[in-house]
Structure 1
Amino acid sequence: MASSINGRNASEIFQGQTLLYKHLFAHVDSKCLKCIVELGIPDIIHNHGQPITLPELASILQIPPAKVSQVQSLMRYLAHNGFFERVTIHEKEAYALTAASELLVKSSELSLAPMVEYILDTTISGSFHQLKKWVHEEDLTLFEISLGSHLWDFLNRNPAYNKSFNEAMASDSQMLNLALRDCKLVFEGLESIVDVGGGTGATAKIICEAFPDLKCIVFDRPQVVENLSGSNNLTYVGGDMFKSIPKACAVLFKMILHNWSDEDCRKILENCKEAISSKSKTGKVIVIDVVINEKKDEHEITRLKLLMDLNMACLLNGKERREEDWKKLFVEAGFQSYKISPLTGYLSLIEIYP
């Protein structure tokens, strides 16, 4: 008879150990991403024009001979996890870019390298060492515990981090180029739109290019937009979305509402209703955000959404929401109806009507 401990057989215990160790060393995954972005390895392979062998990579990086085998371990691990593809060229093993590592090429139009650099900065990511303290603090976020202030105050006081944050958000916005090609009907017929929390205008510029007759307003903190120049159909306005939102036919939020509590979101949405109600009878609010759907989503998509929910809860007192959570917010803010459509792998597009 197989031995057991606490009613579990050896196989179950070893599976538990494997899961435990997988998460115990999971922090190494993000550090590996940070490393290859800092070394510029995706750029090197891209500029090489074809898959690159380890000796070629070591030569370009000027890696000490004694370190080459260790770098091979790095590349082999990342290849196993889908960031590089191991191929054979002239009977030699070489590494090619995958869809994931192509997003880390800094010169690429769709580069997410700035997101990696911001998120994995030691000051930002180090906040998670305070999780135990965060659990026992009634209202404080991880950032307030580790940085001494809310994220937005920290960014206002630290121009370098503010620049890094805006570059990260702008890089993420470029991904919308792909998504918006299939949902142009959402913006057709609108005369004006205000992008709330629009940063440096990456998303608004994409919309302006697709709809040159649509007037776009980027609305963000004064410190973000004060030195930015607009164009014929793009303007920048500084302000506070909790006080008021510029008038427009539509109001856009890209990954903004998940930063805030339900109470804060209700206030923001109420201001949206005021902004669009007198401007257009067909006005609406457009939300690009996460909708958790554990019953329909693939396991890994749900894992990402729940991970982002935890991230928002810890860092900003925000949250990712299920459809019933979103609906409750819309109704309490005075909206009559809404429609949810898929947008990207993990994001949805929500249209809310007054």
Structure 2
Amino acid sequence: MENTGYKSFALLEKYYTDDGTSTGETKPNAISDPDYIAPFLDTISCPPVTRYYNTQQSKSVIKNDCAAGYLGSSVTLIADANQFVSYESLIDANNQAAAWLDNNAQIYANSKGTCEINSNPQNTPIIYSSLSSDGKSINVSWTASYDNPGIIGYQLYRKKSSTGEWQFHRSINDGNLTSFYDNLLDSETTYFYRIKAQYTATSWSPFSNETSQTTAENIPVCFVEGTLITIPDGTQTPIESLKLNQLLLSTEIETLNDTNDVEKLYNWSCSYLLEKRITSPIIKIRSLTADKTIVINNGLLEATPSHSQLIQRDGIWKFIPLGDVIVGDNLYSIDKEIIPITSVFINSEKRKIYPLTLSPSHTYFANGILTHNIKPIDN
């Protein structure tokens, strides 16, 4: 059984109250006994194994086993929050949920969906949409009449907000394609979609119905209040006391073309870390609140799950989200020492954080550990 962090007791031993010595008498520590001692939290002696649970996810598909002349309904299968668990990362738990949805959504739709007579003689597409698990992308899908095999493509239109103007968004030059994955979207924005089918170079169906989804807010990314940041003279300053244009001790890592684009940053790796100390000014800093943080080594580091952190795993140095680190990874200290990660916990209490941006190098030292700052969050 994995450790829960709680220490329990199988036996109770009787002691004399006057001198605190044992009487030698013992008895089972049973719940029914008035002397029962319940398990208590002791994360030092019984360090719990970190568990990551999936967030709620869903997938909508169309029942596809209806007879000719009938259209299937759209059915949504939901993977409830906490349905899947991982000892690796939140991403892994969500990937388990996504895989389960991929394997079961169509079976579920064919079992639970309904077939209705096609009342769409003009073959107008019917459009649907669903939001990705991280709330940043939208999957758009559509169906047209099964009675018309002559569709050669589609045109997808999109608008932002209910009062926005419809804009041509994408041509789909394949009549067999019935979905589109829309990403690089603005946060906290409602996107509307509609589509029309193409039969010939000049023949189009009417526009479909409209569908919409609202993207999630930007998740703040940085360290919590009280984190000590190293300045060029080697002393440390609490992150909440830092000022715009203040210089921080930074470093240039050999072979790394430093960037605040996490997609490029996460493609870098090396087997031997060489770095040169420099200084970089803060060009942006602000105060935000985070609903969840990751705590490493009982508080050595505490930041939001998406914060980019330098780690060594299997002998390879690379940057990954802090939420993906595991026990056994290594950190790199300001004294060029390797610090093993011995514990990883999720803290669900609200914490004040201070996202900051540096230039030209995006690295700095938090509590003496080399880390990376974030891609700036737009206001």
TM-score exceeds 0.5:
no
Shorter-chain TM-score range: under 0.3
More strand by share: 2
Given the two structures, how large is their TM-score scaled by the length of structure 1?
A: 0.21
The TM-score, its normalising length taken from structure 2, stands at: 0.20
Which structure's residues are more often helix, by fraction?
Answer: 1
Q: Which has the larger radius of gyration?
A: 2
